[in-house]
Chains A and B, each alone.
Chain A
Amino acid sequence: MEYFSLKRSSTASRGQPNLSSKVYVRSTKSGKVQKIVRELYLRQDIPCSSNLCKACLQITPTDYSNKVASFVLSDTPAGSKKFPNGQYLVPDTNAFLTGMDLFEVETAFHDVIVLQTVLEEVKNRSLPLYHRLIALTKNEGKRFYVFFNEFRMETHVAREAGESINDRNDRAVRKAVQWYNHHVGEAVAARSKKSKRVPSVVMISDDRDNLRKAKSDGIPALSLSDFVSGLKNVDELLDMISAAQDRREVRSAKAEALYPEYFSMSKMMTGVKTGTMHQGIFNVSPYNYLEGSVHVPAFDKSLLILGRENSNRAVSGDIVVVEVLPQDQWKAPSTKVIEEETLNKNDNPEAEYGENVISERERRALQEEVKRAHGQSAEGKPQPTARVVGIIKRNWRQYVGHIDRDSVRLTSKSSRQQQMVFLVPMDKRIPKIRIRTRQAGELLGQRVLVSIDSWERDSRYPVGHFVRSLGELESKGAETEALLLEWDVQYRPFPKTVLDCLPAEGHDWKVPASLDDPGWIRRKDLRDLLVCSIDPPGCVDIDDALHARQLPNGNFEVGVHIADVSHFVKPNNAMDKEASQRGTTVYLVDKRIDMLPMLLGTDLCSLKPYVERYAFSVLWEITPDADLVSSHFTKSVIRSREAFSYEQAQIRIDNKSQQDDLTNGMRVLMMLSKKLKQKRMDAGALNLASPEVKVQTESETSDPVDVQTKKLLDTNSLVEEFMLLANISVAGKIYEAFPQTALLRRHAAPPKTNFEELGNQLKVKKGLELRTESSKALADSLDTCVNEKEPFFNTLVRIMATRCMMSAEYFCSGTQAYPEFRHYGLASEIYTHFTSPIRRYADLEAHRQLAAAIDYEPLDPSLQSKAKLEAVCKNINVRHRNAQMAGRASIEYYVGQALKGKDIQEEGFVMKIFENGFVVFVPRFGIESLIRLRDLATLEPEAEFDAENYVLRIKGEKARSVELFEKVTVRITDEKEESTGKRKVKLTLV
């Protein structure tokens, strides 16, 4: 009987040799479990990519333009003592996991072959590391080559019966190294008869078993540390190896577990689904490092997490799963300031064993808290507390900090002995990090960048490793870089691929003279309009310009003209991707980190005066009562007549003798803007305040000389009103055109509970009522919060109210219901960002959508996909916030520098009261700072804290009481903060 087998899977033994398969189980999100069979078609045309090899050049597949991808690996790779003929490195998975920082070093680790097996394993183990590895392979200078060993017939390894996946992968790595060695040998032999220099292909692995097997197979192999030992500046490099690895080996069995074990992932997922556990982001209070909170969707108020044991190794920012504690352990949020450095000053970083999770002092501090919580009346109601039972995702990044001087045993610079030291992060919410270093002496007094590697159950603090030093503490370069790193701002220069996307003409680019040019298609000629721009002094990236003129029917035509950035930045090219990554331009006091390359931002896009520029115009017909008759959108060409600063514009408008058309147009704008503002206020828009100061710097050295609060002129609000109007009009238009995918901006109404505290404070202290049922009510009640004697009181309340708000966010219209689109602060039904495309990516996307909505050009598919837009929104929301934070941190640093060595007395206001201190805000410098009781006298004075009336009665020799909203005089000096190494202003009560 003729018989054909239907089987195909076991082709390793019979049938085609170029076919293999891979079988695994995939669990989908919806809970399905599938057996997946992937067939592999093995090929022989995957090149080795070594420039030594001629044979591979012949077989390499060509791309669509018939070009062969250029080979990566150098033909004269660097050698070492052991391999004098040069070496190609083949690291295994663990080498990358523990030494990624090493591989990123510019001076070493070139000519690295990244095997597909390894790349996939890295991806499974750690996504962030995978992305860094991918970035490395794209870095031309590093010469990292991804070799698809699983697809190449000679290096494919089938899993043997009973072999674990790890063993198979290790074998695949060894096989690939073996093949490479053989292949490179052949290639060199083919090049010249008398081959002298055959580079070795060396496996880098820390797995002893793997090294042993490699040795017995005659494959060159080294452990990571052995390899590094042969390089220059060993100490620095060795410090960069992740600490997670060696700790695992060092630890003995007797090490006592300090923290409870995490639940298994499946247990947590089940718990979260059934509602017995909750998932959220772990946040640590900036005032009390022992108090964390997790906002979970199930409750309005965040769950409190108190103490180290309950926070169970979670670091601020991690996504955690928590379990609510029984009611008898609930307590009120802390009213006390607890700082790590004061409590745990004398920890010994070397101590590996016998630590307690909670030091005795911490325990006492917590105990007091609980006692107080129990003896409290209804005011400070105990809140639900919770404990962390597991971590869904670590959001560890690299942290900037400085080495704790007390933790260094050997300070001599010459000593190369390895020792454990503490790194104190700049961010107070991050615990001290234990790092092992050989260069402790040198690192003292420097800003240092480190990574956290692990936090085991038996270690009180997380363990990390050194990445690099940023420079001397307090030097401008180091501090600026530190804050950019802390806020994850991409500050490296634009790569070449991005600059390649710029117009070839460079600065000579001009609006084409001929109206037949393709650039003029569907573009309106508005060059005859009297357009001008009004910006802060010294502004070079001019996004917007305005004009107004009277129409024959008595109405006005008002135009807002925005730089046409989308003409220059096409979707999905390298420049667009870079801009979408950066999300926004970051403004620091002395520095601007651009979203787009300078050429565009400050020249070609910028609506500079006296030259023709492409613009995207919004034109309205507006009645003299500031009612909209119609709006119209068009791409255009304009010529700005003048670029004013706010002040210049104000002077020009106020100067009655100026009666030219341009000035009159500005007066019309001014008149209309006032009416528009009134309408907005009537609708319930909020007039919020944030402490804004400006640092005056010396132009040459950009050293700060003075600090001023920002002045607001009518012209500021003139520009603002029309920008708001343009944004609202555009939002309506793009939503109408793309109801599912319009990129909009919303500001959610704050939950009532956010205002509880402030409302209560106002009621108790000032007898004022804060109504929060709508934005209109809030705006009105904020207006009533005045104190005749103290004009600043109203601003103070506004600042505090602002902090109770939600933050506005970008979103994709399909993800929310229409009522949720509302912008609470602006009291607008719909809103987007359109007016600053040079410095915000959201505006650029809005430009593209508007261009498609008016049929100027087709919409790019990336803007039609809800999922893609959501990812963009998520990123720019984060970037936007980080940019603001970085800006603030920069101001804070410069204010500190400006006040350096000064001693000033200034008025301040009490903003917040704790049991053992209070926060004072100084409007003159926009600074707010904590004054601790122990700062008041040498011996910490006793004090009585009346939480219900927000009064702190200080006893002892300097008896006085401090109450909320009180105006106090403070003495401002500067001080280097021990915990963060930042120079900070220090306030003392006078």
Chain B
Amino acid sequence: MPPSHAVQVNLSPAELSYLRSTLSQKPPIRLDHTKGRKDFRSMRAEYDVLPGANGSARIALEDGTEALVGVKAEVEKLQWRPSLGEQEALTVAAGERMIVDGGQTEDEGGKGKGQNSWLEMSIEIPGFRDDDSLPVFLASMLTETLLASGELKDRLYINRRFHWKLYVDVLLLSPPLSYPLALLSMTTHLALLTSRLPALKSEKDEDPLFDDDWDAAIPLYPKNRGKSSANIQVEKPPVIVLAMAVGENVIFDPCKEELAVADAVLAIACSASQSPSANVARIVSIRTIDPPSHLTPPGVPNSMNSATGGTAPASSADALTQRELLTSSGVWAPPRGGMKRGLISKIVKMVVEKDGIAEEVIDALQGVEVG
């Protein structure tokens, strides 16, 4: 999908071929041979790093990629979209009427009232302009997953006249050594998880007034304490995990070099739902990502190299046919085509199943906050 020129890999066709063959072994041997196919690279995470923000987090991967996310919330006046009933209630009626109307709306909370525009995300990656396709794509991808469930934006509803506007600023502190989507998503997740909004003191449709004690601020994602509130479905912000397929093998959290030989790459956004009955995690969205392997230069087999005694193909069509025959010869050829349905469902299953990837990642990030 996106041009991945960002993630330039300097590997020769022979190296690529070698890497691919080790990864397609069963079990695969990863570049970091200590890791299994489900293993994530180790990372350091901390939150509340920016004192002035409502929430913030920073995650550093062992390869040196590092991301910082700050969440800022501002009170904004709701753009007035007059509907007949509402208008009357606010302009004509005195205090009494407002209370009555307010009472009705209170039951509903902010359900279904959130708007997509209440979340604004900006991503900065060193070496990229903010209108370059990589940051833009990453931002829209992250925004999309955050808004998908509707839960977050509804939480930004204050009353019929005011709402919070959430600014999520994502900053990649290092050059994009590997494809940064998963890292950014996890950092954003942690930042949102630990974000807090000042506690509201005013009631109903009044101009909002807030408690000036920061300690009284309430978390954007309320914590599920104990079993008493188990029946309330408390969502966590979604997180994106990256999975790639090499042959029949599925590898999670691939590093840069591994991506260079991927057959296909999937970005799976999932969120943990707390309802005990259903699956622990659910998929919010899936996107395929054009793997950088598509752009790698193909190896030239001896048979096609005049220097080694072969004959160079006369035309490009000729070259194509010849290569087609050589697919399994071990000479590197960039993978082509998409992903099989069966493979996709296999990946999805691995992500959402009990004790699956999603649960593991979300619990791990939760663990950062708890201690």
A contact residues vs B (CB 8 Å cutoff): 1, 3, 5-9, 21, 23-27, 31-33, 35-37, 159, 165, 263-267, 269-271, 273-274, 276-277, 323, 389
Contact = CB atoms under 8 A, between A and B. Distances in A.
A32 B165 CA distance: 11
Contact of B95 (A26, A31, A271): A271
A165 B213 contact: yes
A8 B51 contact: yes
A22 B94 CA distance: 40
A263 B209 CA distance: 14
Nearest to A165: B213
Nearest to B63: A1
Contacts of A165: 213
A6 B48 CA distance: 9
A7 to B, nearest CB: 5
The 8 closest A-B pairs by CB, nearest first: A266-B202, A270-B206, A266-B209, A37-B51, A6-B49, A266-B206, A23-B214, A25-B198
A25 B206 contact: no
Contacts of A265: 209
Contacts of A31: 75, 77, 207-208
B74 interface: yes
Contacts of A5: 46, 49
Given A7-B48, A23-B214, A323-B94, A273 B207 contact: yes
Given A271-B95, A323-B94, A266 B46 contact: no
Contacts of B95: 263, 267, 271, 276-277, 323, 389
Q: Which of A32, A33, A276, A389 has the most CB of B within 10 A?
A: A33
A37 B52 contact: yes
B212 A21 contact: no
B153 interface: no
Contacts of B231: none
A26 B73 CA distance: 13
B91 interface: yes
Contacts of B212: 24-27
Contacts, number: 96
Q: Which of A9, A21, A35, A323 has the most CB of B within 10 A?
A: A35
Nearest to B56: A6
Nearest to B49: A6
Contact of A25 (B53, B77, B205, B210): B210
A33 B75 contact: yes
A32 B209 CA distance: 10
Chain B interface residue bracket vs A: 35 or more
A274 B53 contact: no
Contacts of A323: 94-95
Contact of B201 (A7, A263, A266, A271): A266
Contacts of A267: 95, 202-203, 206
Nearest to A28: B75
A513 to B, nearest CB: 64
Contact of B215 (A1, A159, A266, A276): A159
A24 B210 CA distance: 11
A35 B213 CA distance: 10
A32 B75 contact: yes
Contacts of B77: 31
Interface of B: 42, 44, 46, 48-54, 58, 60, 62, 68, 73-75, 77, 90-91, 93-95, 98, 198, 201-203, 205-215, 217
Contacts of B58: 6
A24 B214 CA distance: 5
A1 B44 contact: yes
Nearest to A27: B210
B48 A269 contact: no
Nearest to A6: B49
A86 to B, nearest CB: 39
B44 A3 contact: yes
Contacts of A9: 48, 51
Contacts of A23: 51, 214-215
A120 to B, nearest CB: 13
A264 B202 contact: yes
B91 A274 contact: yes
A25 B213 contact: yes
A35 B214 contact: yes
Contacts of A271: 94-95
Given A25-B198, A266-B206, A267-B95, 7 more contacts: A6-B46, A6-B50, A9-B48, A25-B212, A35-B198, A264-B202, A269-B209
A265 B209 CA distance: 9
Contacts of B74: 32-33
22 contacts: A1-B42, A1-B44, A6-B46, A6-B58, A7-B46, A9-B48, A9-B51, A21-B51, A27-B210, A33-B208, A35-B198, A263-B95, A264-B202, A266-B208, A267-B203, A267-B206, A270-B202, A270-B206, A271-B95, A274-B90, A274-B91, A277-B94
Contacts of B51: 8-9, 21, 23, 37
Contacts of A3: 44, 60
B93 to A, nearest CB: 7
Given A3-B60, A276-B93, A323-B94, A27 B46 contact: no
A5 B50 CA distance: 11
Contacts of A276: 93-95, 98
Nearest to A124: B212
A8 B203 CA distance: 36
Nearest to A30: B75
A470 B199 CA distance: 49
Contacts of A24: 212-214
A114 B51 CA distance: 31
A944 to B, nearest CB: 40
Nearest to A271: B95
Contact of A270 (B42, B201, B205): B205
B209 A27 contact: yes
A424 to B, nearest CB: 36
B211 to A, nearest CB: 7
Nearest to B196: A35
Contacts of A7: 46, 48-49
Contacts of B62: 1
A279 to B, nearest CB: 14
Contacts of B42: 1
Contacts of B53: 35
Contacts of B60: 1, 3
B313 to A, nearest CB: 48
B46 A264 contact: no
Nearest to A23: B214
Contacts of A8: 51
Contacts of A274: 90-91
Nearest to B43: A1
B215 A269 contact: no
A263 B58 CA distance: 44
B98 to A, nearest CB: 8
